[in-house]
Amino acid sequence: MRLPRGSLLVVASHNQGKVREIKALLGPHGIEPVSAGDLKLPEPEETGLTFIANAELKARAAADASGHPALADDSGLWVDALEGAPGIYSARWAGPAKDFRIAMARIEKELKEKGATDFSAKFVCALSIAMPHGEIKSFEGEVHGHLSFPPRGDRGFGYDPIFVPKGWDQTFAEIDPQTKNDMSHRAHAFTKLLHSGIFTESL
- Cα separations (Å) of 68 from 8, 63, 113, 154, 171? 7, 5, 47, 34, 36
CB–CB of 138/179 below 8 Å? no
Q: Is 74 a catalytic residue?
A: yes
CB–CB of 74/126 below 8 Å? yes
Residue ranges with strand state E in 80-198? 120-130, 136-147, 163-165
Catalytic annotation, pick one of 64, 74, 99, 182: 74
Is 40 buried (19+), middle (13-18) or exposed (0-12) by CB count in 10 A?
A: exposed
- Cα separations (Å) of 131 from 14, 32, 98, 114, 151? 19, 15, 29, 45, 39
Distance CA 95, CA 139 (A): 27
Q: Quick check: bond before 28 cis, omega within 30? A: no
Point out the residues that are catalytic: 74
